[in-house]
Structure 1
Amino acid sequence: MKLKSATCDTEVMVIKCGQGTVECGGLPMAVDRPPEPDPIDPAHAAGTVMGKRYVDAGATFELLCVKPGKGSLSIDGAPLTLKDAKPLPASD
């Protein structure tokens, strides 16, 4: 499923989904973008980075950013963090 922000240009692909509301910029994301964007909540204005995966603390949600924007991602108000890359094995 692809979700679009109501506050900025951010678009995400839902990779893994749990219970809760996916938000960007402090407002719920939806399948369709509204004609006029709503203002971004300053507490949720850290921005998103294209190609990065975002997860919640319990790893029940995983979102892939396909279009960056000024709003930050959250689930029911709890901020998401960048998913750490898996370390490559050391070569000797």
Structure 2
Amino acid sequence: MAPPAPRPGDQLASTVCTTRVVVIRAPAGKDVSVECGGKPMVPAEGASPPPVTSDASPGTVLGKRYVDADDTLELLCTSPGAGQLTSGGAPLTIKAAKPLPASD
């Protein structure tokens, strides 16, 4: 059985590393999957702890927002981990910061 489509406010946890995210924006009416390290993410509440790994290189960065190519799915990383975030197999990228307006 496939996990339910993510909704804004959902907290998701990886099953392969320590990555945890909060869904900021998700496309309405579309069946979207969110994966980390190639495995579907699960609801954070009640998620079992991930296996211990020796890989210290972060695939996700704490406090960064990740978006899909269409900018319809946005996730906020609340716990970093070694896995890469993907949606439907396509990698998510770190959202670029918006430039501040000039104060002239």
TM-score tier after normalising by the smaller chain length:
0.7 to 0.9
- Alignment-mate amino acid for residue 15 of structure 1: I
Q: Distance in 2 between matches of 1:71 and 1:33?
A: 16
Partner of 2:11: 2
Secondary structure at 1:74 match in 2? strand
Q: Is the 8 A contact 2:13 2:19 kept in 1?
A: yes
Q: TM-score, normalised by structure 2?
A: 0.74
* Distance apart, 1:75 and its partner CA: 0.2
Partner of 2:91: 79
Secondary structure at 2:42 match in 1? coil
- Point out 4+ residue stretches in structure 1 off by more than 6 angstroms: none
* Percent identity between the two aligned chains: 57
In the alignment, structure 2 segments of 5+ residues that lack a partner are 1-9
Partner of 1:21: 33
Partner of 2:4: none
Q: CA RMSD in A?
A: 2.1
* Distance apart, 1:34 and its partner CA: 3.5
Instruction: Work out which of the residue numbers 33, 37, 40 in structure 1 matches 2:47.
Output: 33
Partner of 2:64: 52
Q: Distance in 2 between matches of 1:24 and 1:33?
A: 14
* Distance apart, 1:36 and its partner CA: 5.3
Secondary structure at 1:64 match in 2? strand
In the alignment, structure 1 segments of 5+ residues that lack a partner are 40-44
Q: TM-score, normalised by structure 1?
A: 0.83
What count of residue pairs does the alignment treat as equivalent? 87
Output one character per residue of 1:17-57: Cα deviation in whole Å (capped at 9) or x when no partner.
123110000100001434554x9xxxxx8600000000000
